[in-house]
Structure 1
Amino acid sequence: MKTKANRLELGLFLGLLMPVLTFFVFYLFLHNESGIVEFINEVIVRQVSTQVISLCAVPNLLLFFVFIWTDRLYSARGVLTATFIIAFVVLILKFVL
């Protein structure tokens, strides 16, 4: 059944948005005393960007299972695709750049 909540595009969008929101939560809890730009620079200077990106992708697991449990398989496929995109970006950052 193809409803508005069971679309590949929705899962892809939410799968890419969730890590960004998770990054902002990390910022709020870990480094609230300075700006977001300083926090991003610190992540880059400490060379932990791949680890931070990987951790930010973990909540996609919850989103994936919510879509599976509610029988929204196309949306779950979109979340899985977004997670693979993030993993590919991490691999490029870690081994190529």
Structure 2
Amino acid sequence: MFGWGEFGLVLLLALILLGPDNMVDMARKLGRLYGEYKVAKRRLELEIMYGINPPDEDILKRVEEIREKSIIESAKKGVGLEEPKGINNQANNIVKNREVEG
């Protein structure tokens, strides 16, 4: 297994080879790569488990916009941050329409 000693050695070698300025950029790139890996892994899991393609990014953005609008509206009304009842139905309808089309 990978222990603290090996981890320290890898960090020291990376610091020597890359330099302190490039270490920050490399860490940022590795973080983004790991984030993309997690998203791809989750999409693959959903596709395998449910046998469907996960929703596209544009559908997710539309659902997110609807929910943001509802939160803003409810905050303006002074009700709090609870979503109005019809918003979840609108978001679900968008996803259902996508499934019927696809």
Instruction: Verify same fold: TM over 0.5.
Output: no
| TM-score normalised according to structure 1 size | 0.30
Larger Rg: 2
TM-score normalised to the size of structure 2?
A: 0.29
